[in-house]
Amino acid sequence: MSDGPHRSLPMRKPWRELAKCGDQGTYDAEQVIEAAAGALASDFKNEVKWSLIDALKSIFTGRDNSLGLPEIALQELEDAKVLAAGSVFGMNAVAWSIELITEGRFGLDAFYDAIGLAAKMRGFANVRSVEEHYLRESNQRRSENVSKRLHAAISSLSEGRLGSMLAGPELAKTQRPKKKTHLDEGVSL
């Protein structure tokens, strides 16, 4: 078991990489945060249809609801659930959108918050899966340490920034954590 429990983790590669970063103390908190953002971006890219993102963005910006009436927006969100079918991530985005529209929030910032909140929800669910896997494959102390580090990393991500990273116009590609190649870039002392 010298490779670590992350090798046998039945999740996508970015999540195995995140589990590795969370497990090994050689990765600092910033690297764990970067890996968490990459894992969430990978899930978003693989699961959420762009037609759903476009529909949610148009609802929040009032494309077909120039008066910004919550009742109309809520009906449009109910109709958008069809676009999210088969995607837990997409359904969570619609659910958070309904929550924010009910609070009277409109605009791109609210849209990005809805996407970011759905991403965090997905992240915390996957952290529980990682924790359970480590508990089965290793020991409780190691499992709790990984869970604590991953929870801290995902919690530190701003909903708005996370949402704009995932669904923003620039659509940044999923990047793996940068590999350190020079001696001075190693573990900080």
The amino acid present at 146, given as its one-letter code, is: V
Tokens read off for 175: 């990047």
Task: Quote the CA–CA distance of 178 and 189 in Å, as a whole number.
Answer: 19
Tokens read off for 89: 């991530």
Contact status, residue 53 vs residue 15, Cβ threshold 8 Å:
no
The pTM of the full predicted model, rounded to 2 decimals, is: 0.81
| Mean model confidence pLDDT for the chain | 85
On the question of pLDDT at 41 being above 50, the answer is yes
End-to-end CA distance of the chain: 28
Task: Quote the CA–CA distance of 18 and 35 in Å, as a whole number.
Answer: 5
Torsion angle of the four alpha carbons 20, 10, 121, 35, in this order, in degrees rounded to the nearest 10: 30
Interval 137-156: pLDDT, tens: 888 888 898 889 999 999 99
The per-residue pLDDT for 174 is 44
The per-residue pLDDT for 109 is 93
Least confident of 9-13, 22-26, 43-47, 126-130: 9-13
The per-residue pLDDT for 1 is 40
The per-residue pLDDT for 173 is 46
Determine the average pLDDT of the residues in 85-99: 92
Contact status, residue 102 vs residue 70, Cβ threshold 8 Å:
yes
Q: How confident is the model at residue 183 (pLDDT cuts 50, 70, 90)?
A: low
Q: How confident is the model at residue 178 (pLDDT cuts 50, 70, 90)?
A: low
Of 45, 55, 47, 162, the residue nearest 115 (C-alpha):
162
Determine the average pLDDT of the residues in 37-63: 91
